[in-house]
């Protein structure tokens, strides 16, 4: 038997439809009597949470913003202190979850997260924050949410374009977990299950966005993939997306969507068995090509140029993403990474430049 080390983070997960009805009971379970309800300016599902919290709602802050700016956290902290808050409830995507984590790490308050995207941040003890244009990441047990309340109903109205990019963000957690050096069979099983669910449910959601069964599968996959992100270190794909988001202001989930098939193609020569397992659960012959086709079929973005990246920034991005060593199946050398970014910029087939075939010269 292969030895392994597995840590299970102590997050209570409540999953289903209509679980918002349990938010008050879950807050009471954490001993919270005066909660701060967090959301973003464009959040649509705050009403049901507000209503269910009832007398446990002490204050609201609807200013969550992408990349967790420290000045937003400081404004929310003032509201928290003025209202004598003893618990946090956050409804929204990864940005709102980030604000809740930033407040929890500063105050030690318990958190309930109600995710409305597939970002997976709700089950990790990692927080990325921005200050003076720089994004830094830290990990702390206080960052880890206490309770995650997944209510499929809140995802039924997630626009298809965001559903696609957010689901590929989850797919990326599962793919990179499979070739992490420390992965164990618990995370492997979860990652493969997440990939199978996403490959099956994403086309169904693109065709019928409020299909409850397909939405349930995607949210379930997001949780499974999030636990993989929490359990093992990520590789080149996450390093590149972090660089593109942090240093070139590229949108988080859409960037993941464009880059993933290209990183898979880059890593494939050194991770053959992982790619075969991914292809098998996706029901395709080739994992990078299968990921690319899935994204194209559901109308997801396939080119960094279309996302607004300047071609002249590609070399710098490759340099930044390869400046320090980190675990990845194939060593991330600057030329190879720049070549994959060029493929991603033009929206070519994954691996086009390394093959030097058609499409590599446009
Ligand atoms: P997001 O939270 O910024 O949401 C994007 C937009 O979608 C927002 O305008 C939001 O209001 C809207 N939205 C969210 N749910 C909706 C719904 N159900 N219906 C309609 N609109 C909805 O984007 P995201 O991709 O969820 O999260 C990205 C952020 O999360 C990034 O800052 C990223 O770094 C972070 N993140 C962190 C981790 C971690 O472990 N620390 C993991 C993944 C992502």
Read off the pLDDT of residues 248-284 as tens digits, 9 standing for 90 and up. Answer: 889 999 999 999 999 999 999 999 999 999 999 999 9
Q: Is 35 in the pocket of ligand 1 (CB under 6 A)?
A: no
What is the distance in A from the centroid of ligand 1 to the CA of 362? 34
Q: Is the CB of 63 under 6 A from ligand 1?
A: no
Distance CA 46, CA 24 (A): 14
Q: Residue 117 and residue 159: Cα distance in Å, rounded?
A: 10
Are the C-beta atoms of 349 and 339 separated by less than 8 Å?
no
Residue 358 has pLDDT above 70, yes or no: no
In short, whether 163's Cβ falls inside 6 Å of ligand 1 is no
Phi, psi of 5 (to 5 degrees): -125, 125
- Residue 360 is predicted with a pLDDT of 42
Q: For the segment 172-215, what is each residue's pLDDT rounded down to a tens digit?
A: 999 999 999 999 999 999 999 999 999 999 999 999 999 999 99
- Taking the C-alpha atoms of residue 153 and residue 115, their distance in angstroms, rounded to an integer, is 11
Say yes or no: CB of residue 110 within 6 Å of ligand 1. no
Tell me which residue has its CA closest to atom 21 in ligand 1.
158
Question: pLDDT digit string (tens) for 93-119?
Answer: 999 999 999 999 999 999 999 999 999
φ and ψ of 62, to 5 deg: -110, 35
227 lines ligand 1 (CB under 6 A): no
- The mean pLDDT value for 156-180 works out to 97
| Distant-in-sequence, close-in-space partners of 324: CB < 8 Å, separation ≥ 6 | none
Kindly give the number of the ligand 1 atom that is closest to the alpha carbon of 165. Answer: 25
Closest CA to 261 of 181, 189, 341, 177: 341
Q: Are strands 126-131 and 134-139 parallel, antiparallel or unpaired?
A: antiparallel
Please state, for a pLDDT cut of 70, what percent of the chain lies above it: 97
Q: b/e map of 89-122 (b: 16 or more CB within 10 Å)? A: bbbbbbbbbbbbbbbbbebebbbbbbbbbbbbbb
Pairing of strands 57-61, 35-38: parallel
Model confidence, pTM: 0.95
Q: Is the CB of 255 inside a 6 Å radius of any atom of ligand 1?
A: no
- Choosing from 63, 105, 121 the residue with most ligand 1 atoms within 8 A of its CB, the one to mutate for a pocket test is 121
Residue 139 Cβ < 6 Å to ligand 1:
no
Determine the residue of 38, 70, 94 to mutate for testing ligand 1's pocket, defined as the one with the most ligand atoms within 8 A of the Cβ atom.
Answer: 94
C-beta of 267 in contact with ligand 1 (< 6 A): no
- Whether 362 has a pLDDT exceeding 60, the answer reads no
Question: Closest Cα to residue 337, out of 249, 241, 263, 238?
Answer: 263
- The C-alpha atoms of residue 38 and residue 72 are separated, in whole angstroms, by 12
Query: Does the C-beta of 14 come closer than 6 Å to ligand 1?
Result: no
Q: Which of 11, 46, 90, 92 to mutate to test the pocket of ligand 1 (most atoms within 8 A of CB)?
A: 92
CA of 166 to the centre of ligand 1 (A): 8
Q: Report which of 342, 174, 317 is spatially closest to residue 266, judged by C-alpha positions.
A: 342
Q: Is ligand 1 within 6 A of the CB of residue 39?
A: no
């Amino acid at each position: 038997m292969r030895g392994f080390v597995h840590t299970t983070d102590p997050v209570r997960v409540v999953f289903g439809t209509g679980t918002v009805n349990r938010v008050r009971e879950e807050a009471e379970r954490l001993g919270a009597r005066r909660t701060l309800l967090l959301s973003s300016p464009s959040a649509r599902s705050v009403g049901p949470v507000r209503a269910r919290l009832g007398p446990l709602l002490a204050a609201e802050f609807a200013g969550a913003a992408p990349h967790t700016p420290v000045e937003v956290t400081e404004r929310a902290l003032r509201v928290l202190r003025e209202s004598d808050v003893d618990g946090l409830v956050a409804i929204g995507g990864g940005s709102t979850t980030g604000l809740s984590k930033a407040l929890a790490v500063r105050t030690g308050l318990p958190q309930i997260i109600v995710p409305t995207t597939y970002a997976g941040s709700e089950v990790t003890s990692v927080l990325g924050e921005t200050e003076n244009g720089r994004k830094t990441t830290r990990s702390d047990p206080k960052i880890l949410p206490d309770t995650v309340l997944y209510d499929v109903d809140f995802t039924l109205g997630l626009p298809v374009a965001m559903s696609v990019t957010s689901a590929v963000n989850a797919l990326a957690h599962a793919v990179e977990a499979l070739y992490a050096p420390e992965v164990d069979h618990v995370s492997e099983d979860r990652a493969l299950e997440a990939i199978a669910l996403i490959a099956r449910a994403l086309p169904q959601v693109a065709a019928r966005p409020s299909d409850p069964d397909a939405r349930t599968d995607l949210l379930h996959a997001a949780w499974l993939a999030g636990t993989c992100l929490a359990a093992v270190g990520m590789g080149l794909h996450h390093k590149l997306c972090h660089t593109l988001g942090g240093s070139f202001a590229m949108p988080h989930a859409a960037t993941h969507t464009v880059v993933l098939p290209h990183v898979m193609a880059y890593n494939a020569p050194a991770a053959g068995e992982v790619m075969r397992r991914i292809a098998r659960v996706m029901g395709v012959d080739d994992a990078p090509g299968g990921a690319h086709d899935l994204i194209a079929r559901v109308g997801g973005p396939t080119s960094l140029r279309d996302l607004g990246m300047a071609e002249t920034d590609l070399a710098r991005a490759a340099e930044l993403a390869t400046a320090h060593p980190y675990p990845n199946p194939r060593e991330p050398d600057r030329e190879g990474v720049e070549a994959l970014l060029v493929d991603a910029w033009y929206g070519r087939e994954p691996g086009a430049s390394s093959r030097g075939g058609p499409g590599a010269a446009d």
